[in-house]
A = this chain, B = another copy of it.
Amino acid sequence: MENKIAIIRKIIEAASQLSKIELCLSQASIDQLAHIMVRKTLAKGEMFCREGQVCEYITYIEKGLIRQYYYKKHKDVTEHFASDGDMFICTESFIRQAPSHLMAEALEPCDLYCIHHDAFEKLAAANPEIQYFYRYMFAGALILSQIKADSFRYETAHERYERLLRQQPEVVKRAPLQYIASYLLMTPESLSRVRAGLL
């Protein structure tokens, strides 16, 4: 339980950092959140959210590496990586509680802490502090989403790789090249050339 409380504090801190808003929740609220958080583990290769399944959780990764991807004309497109200390959701599915086209798989064994949608909604409905915090989680996610979209505009393949190397070096070390290439909007061949310094 101590562990969960520490993680809730981290999650609050992350939302606070992103939105630049001092979010201070009472100990009671933090306890409530920690209380609904459940631990899950995944084996390497295991799916966390399949296609057509509803994304039920907002998830914090204590340890491991998650890849989020979808199929675009039968081609596997990597949309996001998340690893130790990051959070992830299949946004559209989670918000709408509708079947997801975005999938999440474990590229490594994972230790996860998950907050269930319905439990979170229930808490938020009963506790204004949590509703407020919930809003800032989305506000933070929105800022991140826009920064990411903008950063991909007008960058070369090389620059995109360099950025990933700076911002998520663990992904470059731990994820297979083909997925990294897809995430960086280039072919595996091109990424190979970027790495070799030929591009």
Q: Which residues of A contact B (CB under 8 A)?
A: 19-21, 72, 77, 79, 91-92, 95-98, 124-125, 128, 131-132, 134-135, 138-143, 145-150, 152-154, 185
Contacts and interface: CB of A to CB of B under 8 A. Distances in A.
Nearest to A101: B150
B95 A142 contact: yes
A139 B134 CA distance: 10
A117 to B, nearest CB: 11
A42 B87 CA distance: 41
B145 A96 contact: no
Nearest to A153: B185
Contacts of A124: 132, 135
A147 B72 CA distance: 13
A134 B96 CA distance: 16
Of A19, A79, A95, the most chain B CB neighbours within 10 A belong to A95
Of A92, A125, A139, A140, the most chain B CB neighbours within 10 A belong to A139
Given A131-B128, A131-B131, A95 B148 contact: no
A108 B146 CA distance: 26
A125 B131 CA distance: 10
Contact of A19 (B96, B145, B146, B154): B96
15 contacts: A19-B96, A20-B96, A20-B97, A20-B98, A21-B95, A72-B153, A91-B146, A92-B143, A95-B140, A95-B143, A124-B135, A125-B128, A128-B128, A131-B131, A142-B145
B142 A138 contact: yes
A7 B66 CA distance: 42
> Shortest 3 CB-CB distances between A and B: which pairs?
A135-B135, A138-B138, A20-B96
Nearest to A150: B79
